[in-house]
Amino acid sequence: MVILGTILTFVGAIGGFVTGIMLLIANFKKNVGWGVASLLLGIPLLVFAIMHFSEVKKPFLLYIAFIAMVIVGFMLSAAGAISGLEGFDPNSLQQP
């Protein structure tokens, strides 16, 4: 489960990075102010995507899907790590 979570996290992170760049390019094409604000702050990127949804529909929806993939990957990795600790006994770590 940890390996699947790690793969989902990495694929989601790379996809989110690529679609974030695509949205940033669309911001700069519309107005340099939008682009700079989105580059420095991040929140204007989402505001722009919502305001101009018809123009950036596909990259924005992919961006949301990749972010969800990262979250699911983190949860799977954490669940796998916790399930691996079931037989762990902290008293066995005592030094002689």
**Does any domain span residue 17?**
yes
**Does any domain span residue 75?**
yes
**Does any domain span residue 20?**
yes
**Does any domain span residue 89?**
no
- Total number of domains in the chain: 1
16-73 pLDDT tens trace: 999 999 999 999 999 899 899 988 998 998 899 999 999 999 999 999 999 999 999 9
Host domain of residue 64: 2-83
**Does any domain span residue 43?**
yes
pTM: 0.78
Q: Cβ distance 27 to 34 under 8 Å?
A: yes
